[in-house]
Amino acid sequence: MATGSSGVVIVTGAGGEMGHALIPHLLAAGKRVVAADLRAPTSPWPDGVRAATGDIRDRAFVKTLADAWGEGPIEAVYHLAAVLSSAGERNPELAHEVNVMGTMHLLSLAAERGTPGHPPLVLFPSSIAVYGLHDLDAKRNAGALHEEEHLDPRTVYGLGKLAGEELGGYYARYYRQLDPQGPRRAVDFRSIRFPGILSADTLPSGGTSDYGPEMLHAAAKGEPYRCFVRPDARIPFMTMPDAIRAIEAIAAAPVSRLSRRVYNVGAFAPSAAEIAELVTRHFPRARIDFSPHPARQAIVDSWPEDVVDHAARRDWHWTPTHDFESAFAEYLVPRITSRYAAAVR
Ligand code: SER
């Protein structure tokens, strides 16, 4: 995983979906992890993890994170904490404070607490929410988007992710540029724009791509599901194991291989109807109907149908393991079925 010195590895949003999936990989790589989250852990973390409970809006709390294992440099920050897109629209001020100010606090911490000459890796999960198509015609005409296209987000979450990407670039190039010795390369900032993510183990909360995972988990539990977007709504998705693989691959890539700091990654891009069909094929008793929520639909309509991920494929050999069919047949359905076995029986 993270290369460089053997300092601590800080994971924010450690109790969230991606944190749960990522931390075992960091431990397997022998890292000493600081698991930061707003909420205290519901079950104890294994050896190798120290929990830090607090709010990343609080700069004083963030400053304590580097010391959870005693004095020592920061090797890497996996800054996963965020208020997702639907939750952000319900409280834009909170979303800005967490998503932008919180990111700034983590970047400052990493910049100040690295090993001299070894800027800490800062891994920032960005999102397809940085894109903004004005209407459905624009979305259909645009097709799959390259990284530089249509950066006109409709949500405060998308704005915050775009700001986080730019702030990361600033800390990587221009931090302390007025100091007599000039700017420092204070952090090794790397970012992946994720599509919607499908996990067999957890559900997201407060996102707008949540209809994908919610449909599947409801069917596996034997519950009906009312989908909040139209059947033709189409955005890219990938599985959680592939998302973690992408993080590992970009983190391990030699800096000389990286032609950019922010990368698209894609895997498959089904419509909501196609997700419903595949869920129903695997769970024939699934009860899914569609009752679009206009505002959430408009957010999904502003996100691209798919992304172009040539740069990630070329620079750090990104390739998803799961396509749409195999995601369900080989990962989601077997794992989710055993998870909810008691409920469906
Ligand atoms: N999955 C996120 C959301 O729906 C987008 O990155 O908010």
| Domain containing residue 13: CATH number | 3.40.50.720
pLDDT at residue 20 greater than cutoff 50 = yes
DSSP class per residue in 60-89: HHHHHGGGBTBS--EEEEEE-----HHHHH
Contact 154, 304 (CB under 8 A): no
What separation in angstroms does the CA of 142 have from each of 174, 257, 297, 312? 33, 29, 18, 20
| Rounded CA separation 269/44 (Å) | 37
Per-residue exposure over 231-245, b if at least 16 CB sit within 10 Å of its own CB, e if not:
bebbbbbbbbbbbbb
Contacts of 152 (CB under 8 A, 6+ apart): 131, 132, 134
Find tokens 């004083």 and name the residue.
60
Contact 25, 244 (CB under 8 A): yes
Catalytic one of 157, 175, 225, 263:
157
Distance 307 CA to ligand 1 centre (A): 15
The pocket around ligand 1, CB under 6 angstroms, is made up of 84-85, 127, 129, 157, 194, 196, 207-209
Contacts of 87 (CB under 8 A, 6+ apart): 95, 157, 205, 206, 207
Longest pairwise C-alpha distance within the chain: 69
Residues 57-79 pLDDT 10s: 999 999 999 999 988 899 999 99
Residues 115-164 pLDDT 10s: 888 999 999 999 999 999 999 999 999 999 999 999 999 999 999 999 99
Residue 97 lies in a domain: yes
| Rounded CA separation 264/333 (Å) | 26
Residue 102 lies in a domain: yes
- pLDDT above 70: percentage of residues in the chain: 97
- pLDDT above 90: percentage of residues in the chain: 92
H helix or E strand, kind and range, residue 150: none
Contact 217, 282 (CB under 8 A): no
Distance 126 CA to ligand 1 centre (A): 9
Both tokens of residue 114? 């690295």
Distance 277 CA to ligand 1 centre (A): 22
| Rounded CA separation 74/271 (Å) | 42
Task: State the average pLDDT over residues 176-185.
Answer: 90
pLDDT at 4: 45
pLDDT at 3: 44
pLDDT at 343: 52
Residue 178 lies in a domain: yes
CA angle 62, 65, 67 (to 5 degrees): 135
pLDDT at residue 41 greater than cutoff 90 = yes
Nearest CA to ligand 1 atom 2: 207
Contacts of 192 (CB under 8 A, 6+ apart): 123, 124, 125, 126, 246, 247, 250, 262, 263, 265, 312
Residue 256 lies in a domain: yes
Residue 192 lies in a domain: yes
pLDDT at residue 345 greater than cutoff 60 = no
Report the nearest atom of ligand 1 relative to the CA of 128: 6
Nearest CA to ligand 1 atom 6: 127
Domain count, the chain: 1
Residue 330 lies in a domain: no
Domain that holds residue 260: 8-197+238-267+305-323
How much is the mean pLDDT over the chain?
95
Residue 20 lies in a domain: yes
| Rounded CA separation 139/147 (Å) | 15
Residue 2 pLDDT level (bands cut at 50, 70, 90): very low
Residues in the chain: 345
Residue 328 lies in a domain: no
Catalytic status, residue 157 = yes
